[in-house]
Protein backbone atom coordinates (compact mmCIF):
# COMPACT_ATOMS: atom_id res chain seq x y z
CA UNK A 1 0.00 0.00 0.00
CA UNK A 2 1.56 3.30 -1.12
CA UNK A 3 2.03 6.42 0.99
CA UNK A 4 -0.65 8.22 -1.04
CA UNK A 5 -3.21 5.52 -0.29
CA UNK A 6 -2.31 5.58 3.42
CA UNK A 7 -2.85 9.35 3.52
CA UNK A 8 -6.21 8.98 1.79
CA UNK A 9 -7.19 6.29 4.30
CA UNK A 10 -6.33 8.64 7.18
CA UNK A 11 -8.19 11.55 5.62
CA UNK A 12 -11.25 9.34 5.08
CA UNK A 13 -11.05 8.21 8.71
CA UNK A 14 -11.17 11.79 10.02
CA UNK A 15 -13.76 12.90 7.48
CA UNK A 16 -15.96 9.98 8.48
CA UNK A 17 -15.78 11.07 12.12
CA UNK A 18 -16.75 14.61 11.14
CA UNK A 19 -19.70 13.50 9.01
CA UNK A 20 -20.82 11.00 11.63
CA UNK A 21 -21.20 13.80 14.17
CA UNK A 22 -24.25 15.13 12.33
CA UNK A 23 -25.42 12.98 9.42
CA UNK A 24 -27.98 10.93 11.37
CA UNK A 25 -29.52 14.07 12.86
CA UNK A 26 -30.05 16.15 9.70
CA UNK A 27 -33.79 15.36 9.39
CA UNK A 28 -34.27 16.17 13.08
CA UNK A 29 -32.46 19.51 12.76
CA UNK A 30 -34.67 20.39 9.80
CA UNK A 31 -37.76 19.45 11.81
CA UNK A 32 -36.59 21.46 14.83
CA UNK A 33 -36.06 24.56 12.67
CA UNK A 34 -39.64 24.38 11.37
CA UNK A 35 -39.66 22.11 8.32
CA UNK A 36 -42.56 19.74 7.66
CA UNK A 37 -41.99 16.12 6.66
CA UNK A 38 -42.65 16.96 3.01
CA UNK A 39 -40.24 19.90 3.22
CA UNK A 40 -37.60 17.67 4.81
CA UNK A 41 -37.86 15.22 1.92
CA UNK A 42 -37.78 18.01 -0.67
CA UNK A 43 -34.79 19.72 1.00
CA UNK A 44 -32.77 16.51 1.06
CA UNK A 45 -33.80 15.74 -2.52
CA UNK A 46 -32.64 19.15 -3.76
CA UNK A 47 -29.31 18.67 -1.98
CA UNK A 48 -28.80 15.33 -3.70
CA UNK A 49 -30.05 16.60 -7.07
CA UNK A 50 -27.59 19.48 -7.31
CA UNK A 51 -24.54 17.30 -6.75
CA UNK A 52 -25.94 14.74 -9.19
CA UNK A 53 -25.34 17.16 -12.05
CA UNK A 54 -21.70 17.61 -10.99
CA UNK A 55 -20.63 13.95 -10.99
CA UNK A 56 -20.34 13.48 -14.75
CA UNK A 57 -18.35 16.68 -15.50
CA UNK A 58 -16.22 16.00 -12.40
CA UNK A 59 -15.49 12.47 -13.62
CA UNK A 60 -14.75 13.80 -17.11
CA UNK A 61 -12.31 16.34 -15.65
CA UNK A 62 -10.75 13.59 -13.56
CA UNK A 63 -9.81 11.79 -16.79
CA UNK A 64 -8.10 14.92 -18.12
CA UNK A 65 -6.78 17.18 -15.32
CA UNK A 66 -4.47 16.85 -12.34
CA UNK A 67 -6.53 15.04 -9.72
CA UNK A 68 -5.17 16.23 -6.37
CA UNK A 69 -6.46 19.77 -6.95
CA UNK A 70 -9.93 18.48 -7.80
CA UNK A 71 -9.94 16.34 -4.65
CA UNK A 72 -8.83 19.19 -2.37
CA UNK A 73 -11.56 21.46 -3.74
CA UNK A 74 -14.22 19.01 -2.59
CA UNK A 75 -12.69 18.71 0.88
CA UNK A 76 -12.60 22.48 1.43
CA UNK A 77 -16.21 22.93 0.31
CA UNK A 78 -17.27 20.45 3.01
CA UNK A 79 -15.69 22.60 5.73
CA UNK A 80 -17.46 25.73 4.46
CA UNK A 81 -20.79 23.88 4.44
CA UNK A 82 -20.38 22.88 8.09
CA UNK A 83 -20.02 26.54 9.11
CA UNK A 84 -23.20 27.43 7.20
CA UNK A 85 -25.16 24.73 9.04
CA UNK A 86 -23.69 25.89 12.36
CA UNK A 87 -25.08 29.44 12.09
CA UNK A 88 -28.27 28.88 10.03
CA UNK A 89 -31.28 30.39 11.91
CA UNK A 90 -33.97 28.85 9.66
CA UNK A 91 -34.56 25.51 8.01
CA UNK A 92 -34.13 27.11 4.57
CA UNK A 93 -30.59 28.28 5.40
CA UNK A 94 -29.81 24.96 7.05
CA UNK A 95 -30.96 23.26 3.85
CA UNK A 96 -28.63 25.57 1.92
CA UNK A 97 -25.76 24.28 4.05
CA UNK A 98 -26.82 20.74 3.19
CA UNK A 99 -26.75 21.66 -0.50
CA UNK A 100 -23.24 23.10 -0.20
CA UNK A 101 -22.13 19.98 1.67
CA UNK A 102 -23.56 17.86 -1.12
CA UNK A 103 -21.41 19.79 -3.59
CA UNK A 104 -18.30 18.57 -1.80
CA UNK A 105 -18.93 15.00 -2.91
CA UNK A 106 -18.23 15.84 -6.56
CA UNK A 107 -14.64 14.76 -5.87
CA UNK A 108 -15.51 11.13 -5.03
CA UNK A 109 -15.30 9.82 -8.63
CA UNK A 110 -11.94 11.59 -8.92
CA UNK A 111 -10.72 9.93 -5.70
CA UNK A 112 -11.80 6.55 -7.05
CA UNK A 113 -9.91 7.18 -10.30
CA UNK A 114 -6.85 8.23 -8.28
CA UNK A 115 -7.00 4.96 -6.32
CA UNK A 116 -7.57 2.82 -9.43
CA UNK A 117 -4.49 4.30 -11.10
CA UNK A 118 -2.42 4.05 -7.91
CA UNK A 119 -3.12 0.34 -7.30
CA UNK A 120 -2.82 -2.87 -9.39
CA UNK A 121 -6.11 -4.26 -10.78
CA UNK A 122 -6.15 -7.32 -8.50
CA UNK A 123 -6.15 -4.96 -5.49
CA UNK A 124 -8.94 -2.62 -6.63
CA UNK A 125 -11.77 -4.21 -4.65
CA UNK A 126 -9.72 -4.55 -1.48
CA UNK A 127 -8.28 -1.02 -1.54
CA UNK A 128 -11.54 0.73 -2.46
CA UNK A 129 -13.42 -1.17 0.22
CA UNK A 130 -10.72 -0.38 2.78
CA UNK A 131 -10.98 3.28 1.85
CA UNK A 132 -14.71 3.29 2.49
CA UNK A 133 -14.19 1.15 5.60
CA UNK A 134 -11.80 3.81 6.95
CA UNK A 135 -14.57 6.37 6.51
CA UNK A 136 -17.01 4.20 8.44
CA UNK A 137 -14.46 3.38 11.10
CA UNK A 138 -14.17 7.11 11.73
CA UNK A 139 -17.94 7.37 11.78
CA UNK A 140 -18.30 4.43 14.18
CA UNK A 141 -18.52 6.28 17.49
CA UNK A 142 -19.22 9.70 16.03
CA UNK A 143 -23.05 9.67 16.34
CA UNK A 144 -22.73 9.15 20.10
CA UNK A 145 -20.32 12.09 20.32
CA UNK A 146 -22.55 14.13 18.03
CA UNK A 147 -25.62 13.49 20.16
CA UNK A 148 -23.65 14.50 23.26
CA UNK A 149 -22.37 17.70 21.61
CA UNK A 150 -25.88 18.59 20.43
CA UNK A 151 -27.25 18.06 23.94
CA UNK A 152 -24.67 20.19 25.75
CA UNK A 153 -23.82 22.86 23.18
CA UNK A 154 -26.52 22.87 20.56
CA UNK A 155 -26.19 22.94 16.82
CA UNK A 156 -23.51 25.66 16.70
CA UNK A 157 -21.03 23.69 18.82
CA UNK A 158 -21.77 20.50 16.91
CA UNK A 159 -21.18 21.91 13.43
CA UNK A 160 -18.14 23.95 14.46
CA UNK A 161 -16.61 20.64 15.57
CA UNK A 162 -17.60 19.13 12.22
CA UNK A 163 -15.87 21.95 10.32
CA UNK A 164 -12.70 21.44 12.35
CA UNK A 165 -12.61 17.74 11.44
CA UNK A 166 -13.13 18.52 7.76
CA UNK A 167 -10.29 21.04 7.63
CA UNK A 168 -7.93 18.61 9.38
CA UNK A 169 -8.86 15.99 6.80
CA UNK A 170 -8.17 18.52 4.02
CA UNK A 171 -4.71 19.19 5.43
CA UNK A 172 -3.87 15.48 5.37
CA UNK A 173 -5.07 15.14 1.78
CA UNK A 174 -2.80 18.02 0.80
CA UNK A 175 0.09 15.61 1.37
CA UNK A 176 -0.81 13.16 -1.41
CA UNK A 177 1.21 13.32 -4.61
CA UNK A 178 -0.26 15.05 -7.67
CA UNK A 179 -1.61 12.60 -10.24
CA UNK A 180 -2.41 13.12 -13.91
CA UNK A 181 -4.28 10.64 -16.15
CA UNK A 182 -2.18 7.88 -17.71
CA UNK A 183 0.19 8.77 -20.54
CA UNK A 184 -1.40 6.07 -22.72
CA UNK A 185 -4.75 7.87 -22.62
CA UNK A 186 -4.84 8.97 -26.29
CA UNK A 187 -4.31 5.43 -27.62
CA UNK A 188 -6.81 4.04 -25.10
CA UNK A 189 -9.41 6.56 -26.29
CA UNK A 190 -9.09 5.33 -29.87
CA UNK A 191 -9.48 1.72 -28.72
CA UNK A 192 -12.43 2.64 -26.50
CA UNK A 193 -14.28 4.47 -29.26
CA UNK A 194 -13.81 1.51 -31.62
CA UNK A 195 -15.48 -0.80 -29.10
CA UNK A 196 -18.06 1.72 -27.84
CA UNK A 197 -21.09 -0.03 -29.44
CA UNK A 198 -20.25 -3.16 -27.42
CA UNK A 199 -20.41 -1.32 -24.10
CA UNK A 200 -24.18 -1.66 -23.73
CA UNK A 201 -23.87 -4.10 -20.77
CA UNK A 202 -22.47 -1.19 -18.75
CA UNK A 203 -25.82 0.57 -19.14
CA UNK A 204 -27.66 -2.44 -17.73
CA UNK A 205 -25.34 -2.57 -14.74
CA UNK A 206 -25.72 1.19 -14.17
CA UNK A 207 -29.52 0.89 -14.13
CA UNK A 208 -29.43 -1.98 -11.63
CA UNK A 209 -27.00 -0.16 -9.35
CA UNK A 210 -29.15 2.98 -9.44
CA UNK A 211 -32.24 0.90 -8.61
CA UNK A 212 -30.46 -0.54 -5.57
CA UNK A 213 -29.57 2.99 -4.43
CA UNK A 214 -33.17 4.16 -4.84
CA UNK A 215 -34.60 1.37 -2.72
CA UNK A 216 -32.06 1.57 0.09
CA UNK A 217 -32.23 5.37 0.33
CA UNK A 218 -36.03 5.43 0.30
CA UNK A 219 -35.99 3.15 3.32
CA UNK A 220 -33.62 5.20 5.46
CA UNK A 221 -34.26 8.89 4.65
CA UNK A 222 -36.67 9.39 7.55
CA UNK A 223 -35.57 6.53 9.79
CA UNK A 224 -34.62 8.89 12.67
CA UNK A 225 -38.11 10.42 12.55
CA UNK A 226 -39.76 7.00 12.25
CA UNK A 227 -37.89 5.66 15.28
CA UNK A 228 -38.57 8.81 17.30
CA UNK A 229 -42.30 8.91 16.64
CA UNK A 230 -43.14 5.20 16.57
CA UNK A 231 -40.84 3.92 19.32
CA UNK A 232 -40.11 7.14 21.27
CA UNK A 233 -36.33 6.79 20.85
CA UNK A 234 -34.40 9.88 21.95
CA UNK A 235 -31.50 11.43 20.03
CA UNK A 236 -28.84 9.51 21.97
CA UNK A 237 -30.56 6.19 21.27
CA UNK A 238 -30.69 7.05 17.58
CA UNK A 239 -27.00 7.89 17.83
CA UNK A 240 -26.36 4.41 19.26
CA UNK A 241 -28.22 2.86 16.35
CA UNK A 242 -26.20 5.01 13.97
CA UNK A 243 -23.06 3.62 15.56
CA UNK A 244 -24.32 0.09 14.89
CA UNK A 245 -24.91 1.11 11.28
CA UNK A 246 -21.30 2.27 11.04
CA UNK A 247 -20.13 -1.00 12.59
CA UNK A 248 -22.16 -2.89 10.03
CA UNK A 249 -20.66 -0.84 7.21
CA UNK A 250 -17.12 -1.69 8.35
CA UNK A 251 -18.02 -5.35 8.81
CA UNK A 252 -19.56 -5.75 5.36
CA UNK A 253 -16.92 -3.69 3.55
CA UNK A 254 -14.13 -5.88 4.89
CA UNK A 255 -16.01 -9.18 4.78
CA UNK A 256 -17.52 -8.86 1.31
CA UNK A 257 -14.27 -7.74 -0.33
CA UNK A 258 -12.56 -10.88 0.99
CA UNK A 259 -15.51 -13.09 0.09
CA UNK A 260 -15.73 -11.98 -3.54
CA UNK A 261 -12.93 -9.89 -5.10
CA UNK A 262 -14.88 -9.51 -8.36
CA UNK A 263 -17.86 -7.92 -6.60
CA UNK A 264 -20.89 -9.65 -8.16
CA UNK A 265 -21.81 -12.02 -5.33
CA UNK A 266 -20.83 -9.38 -2.78
CA UNK A 267 -23.27 -6.87 -4.26
CA UNK A 268 -26.04 -9.48 -4.29
CA UNK A 269 -25.47 -10.31 -0.61
CA UNK A 270 -25.23 -6.65 0.38
CA UNK A 271 -28.60 -5.85 -1.17
CA UNK A 272 -30.22 -8.88 0.46
CA UNK A 273 -28.90 -7.76 3.86
CA UNK A 274 -30.39 -4.30 3.40
CA UNK A 275 -33.77 -5.76 2.44
CA UNK A 276 -33.79 -7.93 5.58
CA UNK A 277 -32.85 -4.93 7.73
CA UNK A 278 -35.70 -2.83 6.33
CA UNK A 279 -38.17 -5.66 6.88
CA UNK A 280 -37.00 -5.98 10.51
CA UNK A 281 -37.57 -2.28 11.22
CA UNK A 282 -40.96 -2.48 9.56
CA UNK A 283 -42.27 -5.68 11.18
CA UNK A 284 -40.46 -6.27 14.50
CA UNK A 285 -40.95 -3.78 17.39
CA UNK A 286 -37.86 -4.89 19.31
CA UNK A 287 -34.98 -2.61 20.34
CA UNK A 288 -32.51 -5.51 20.21
CA UNK A 289 -33.62 -6.49 16.71
CA UNK A 290 -33.33 -2.86 15.65
CA UNK A 291 -29.66 -3.03 16.62
CA UNK A 292 -29.30 -6.06 14.34
CA UNK A 293 -31.25 -4.29 11.58
CA UNK A 294 -28.90 -1.31 11.62
CA UNK A 295 -25.91 -3.64 11.31
CA UNK A 296 -27.57 -5.22 8.26
CA UNK A 297 -28.37 -1.79 6.81
CA UNK A 298 -24.66 -1.01 6.96
CA UNK A 299 -24.30 -3.18 3.85
CA UNK A 300 -25.79 -0.37 1.73
CA UNK A 301 -22.54 1.51 2.11
CA UNK A 302 -20.71 -1.11 0.05
CA UNK A 303 -22.73 -0.32 -3.08
CA UNK A 304 -20.56 2.51 -4.38
CA UNK A 305 -17.23 0.70 -4.00
CA UNK A 306 -18.55 -2.62 -5.32
CA UNK A 307 -20.30 -0.88 -8.21
CA UNK A 308 -17.13 1.05 -9.02
CA UNK A 309 -15.11 -2.17 -9.17
CA UNK A 310 -17.67 -3.92 -11.38
CA UNK A 311 -17.75 -0.98 -13.76
CA UNK A 312 -13.95 -0.66 -13.77
CA UNK A 313 -13.68 -4.26 -14.96
CA UNK A 314 -15.94 -3.44 -17.93
CA UNK A 315 -14.62 0.03 -18.78
CA UNK A 316 -11.48 1.05 -20.73
CA UNK A 317 -8.94 2.91 -18.59
CA UNK A 318 -9.46 6.08 -20.62
CA UNK A 319 -13.03 6.37 -19.35
CA UNK A 320 -12.95 4.96 -15.83
CA UNK A 321 -13.29 8.32 -14.07
CA UNK A 322 -16.02 9.41 -16.49
CA UNK A 323 -18.02 6.18 -16.13
CA UNK A 324 -17.63 6.38 -12.36
CA UNK A 325 -19.02 9.91 -12.59
CA UNK A 326 -21.98 8.63 -14.62
CA UNK A 327 -22.52 5.90 -12.01
CA UNK A 328 -22.53 8.44 -9.18
CA UNK A 329 -24.80 10.76 -11.17
CA UNK A 330 -27.39 8.03 -11.79
CA UNK A 331 -27.14 6.93 -8.17
CA UNK A 332 -27.54 10.53 -7.08
CA UNK A 333 -30.61 10.93 -9.27
CA UNK A 334 -32.08 7.76 -7.77
CA UNK A 335 -31.36 9.07 -4.27
CA UNK A 336 -32.94 12.42 -5.15
CA UNK A 337 -36.14 10.74 -6.31
CA UNK A 338 -36.18 8.55 -3.20
CA UNK A 339 -35.74 11.53 -0.87
CA UNK A 340 -38.41 13.52 -2.70
CA UNK A 341 -40.91 10.66 -2.45
CA UNK A 342 -40.08 9.63 1.11
CA UNK A 343 -41.72 12.61 2.81
CA UNK A 344 -44.99 12.06 0.98
CA UNK A 345 -45.02 8.33 1.74
CA UNK A 346 -44.19 9.06 5.38
CA UNK A 347 -47.11 11.50 5.61
CA UNK A 348 -49.45 8.69 4.52
CA UNK A 349 -47.96 6.13 6.92
CA UNK A 350 -44.59 6.34 8.75
CA UNK A 351 -43.89 2.70 7.81
CA UNK A 352 -44.74 3.13 4.12
CA UNK A 353 -41.20 4.04 2.95
CA UNK A 354 -39.90 0.84 4.56
CA UNK A 355 -42.60 -1.26 2.93
CA UNK A 356 -42.06 0.14 -0.57
CA UNK A 357 -38.26 -0.08 -0.26
CA UNK A 358 -38.36 -3.71 0.88
CA UNK A 359 -40.48 -4.99 -1.99
CA UNK A 360 -38.55 -2.89 -4.50
CA UNK A 361 -35.25 -4.45 -3.41
CA UNK A 362 -36.70 -7.97 -3.48
CA UNK A 363 -37.69 -7.42 -7.12
CA UNK A 364 -34.35 -5.92 -8.17
CA UNK A 365 -32.26 -8.54 -6.37
CA UNK A 366 -34.04 -11.12 -8.51
CA UNK A 367 -33.30 -9.11 -11.66
CA UNK A 368 -29.64 -8.76 -10.69
CA UNK A 369 -29.45 -12.54 -10.43
CA UNK A 370 -30.62 -12.79 -14.05
CA UNK A 371 -28.14 -10.10 -15.09
CA UNK A 372 -25.36 -12.00 -13.35
CA UNK A 373 -25.99 -14.99 -15.60
CA UNK A 374 -25.64 -12.76 -18.65
CA UNK A 375 -22.50 -11.18 -17.18
CA UNK A 376 -20.67 -14.51 -17.48
CA UNK A 377 -21.02 -14.40 -21.26
CA UNK A 378 -19.76 -10.85 -21.82
CA UNK A 379 -16.36 -12.00 -23.11
CA UNK A 380 -18.19 -13.61 -26.03
CA UNK A 381 -19.72 -10.25 -26.97
CA UNK A 382 -16.52 -8.24 -27.39
CA UNK A 383 -12.78 -8.59 -26.75
CA UNK A 384 -13.00 -5.53 -24.54
CA UNK A 385 -14.53 -7.80 -21.87
CA UNK A 386 -11.86 -10.48 -22.12
CA UNK A 387 -10.54 -9.67 -18.64
CA UNK A 388 -13.95 -9.08 -17.08
Mean pLDDT on 339-344: 86
Q: Model confidence at 59, in pLDDT bands (50, 70, 90)? A: confident
Return mean pLDDT, the chain. Answer: 82
Find out whether 250 and 140 touch, Cβ atoms under 8 Å.
Answer: yes
Residue 382 has pLDDT above 60, yes or no: no
- Dihedral through CA 132, CA 138, CA 143, CA 149, nearest 10? -140
User: Is pLDDT of 289 > 90?
Assistant: yes
Of 64, 122, 23, 121, the C-alpha closest to 325 is 64
For residue 29, what pLDDT is reported?
82
Question: What is the model's pLDDT at position 331?
Answer: 86
pLDDT at position 53 is: 80
Mean pLDDT within 142-165: 88
User: What distances in angstroms separate CA 292 from CA 46, 267, 358, 368, one per listed residue?
Assistant: 31, 20, 16, 25
Tell me, letter by letter, the H, E, C secondary structure of 143-166. Answer: HHHHHHHHHHHHHHHHHHHHHHHH
Report the pLDDT value the prediction gives residue 372, as an integer from 0 to 100: 58
Q: Mean pLDDT throughout 14-32?
A: 86
| Interval 184-204: pLDDT, tens | 454 555 445 555 555 667 777
Q: 341 pLDDT exceeds 70?
A: yes
How far apart (Å, rounded) are the C-alpha atoms in residues 16 and 137? 7
For the entire predicted model, the pTM comes to 0.73
In the chain, % of residues over pLDDT 70:
88
Question: What are the tens digits of pLDDT across the range 250-277?
Answer: 888 888 877 765 667 788 888 889 999 9
**Is residue 1 a contact partner of residue 123, using CB atoms and an 8 Å limit?**
no
Report the distance separating Cα 346 and Cα 282, nearest Å.
Answer: 13
The predicted pLDDT at position 36 comes to 81
Worst-scoring range by mean pLDDT, 110-119, 220-229, 285-294, 378-387? 378-387
b/e 4-17 (16+ beta carbons within 10 angstroms → b) = bbebbbbbbbbbbb
pLDDT score at 379 = 46
User: What is the pLDDT at residue 370?
Assistant: 58
What is the rounded CA–CA span in Å between residue 272 and residue 354? 14
pLDDT at 44 over 90: no
User: Can you give the C-alpha Rg of the chain in angstroms?
Assistant: 20
Instruction: Output the CA angle 134-140-145, nearest 5 degrees.
Output: 130
Find the range with the poorest average confidence among 167-181, 270-284, 305-319, 355-369.
305-319
pLDDT at 387 over 50: no
Concatenated DSSP letters for 215-283? HHHHHHTTHHHHHHHHH---HHHHHHHHHHHHHHHHHHHHHHHHH-TTSHHHHHHHHHHHHHHHHHHHH
Which domains does the chain carry? 3-174+187-385 (1.20.1250.20)
Greater confidence, 215 or 204?
A: 215
Amino acid sequence: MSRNIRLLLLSYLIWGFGEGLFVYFEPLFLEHTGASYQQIGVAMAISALIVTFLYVPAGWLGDRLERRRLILGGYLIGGIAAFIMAVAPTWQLFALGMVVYGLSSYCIPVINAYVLQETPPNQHTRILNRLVAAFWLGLLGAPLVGGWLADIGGRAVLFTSVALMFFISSGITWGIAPQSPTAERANEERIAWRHLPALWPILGLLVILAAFEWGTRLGDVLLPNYLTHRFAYDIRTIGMLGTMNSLGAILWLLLLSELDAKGRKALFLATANVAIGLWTLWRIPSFGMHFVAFVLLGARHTFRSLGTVLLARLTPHAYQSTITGVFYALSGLAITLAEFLSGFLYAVDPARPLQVAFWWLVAWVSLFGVYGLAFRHLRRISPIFAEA
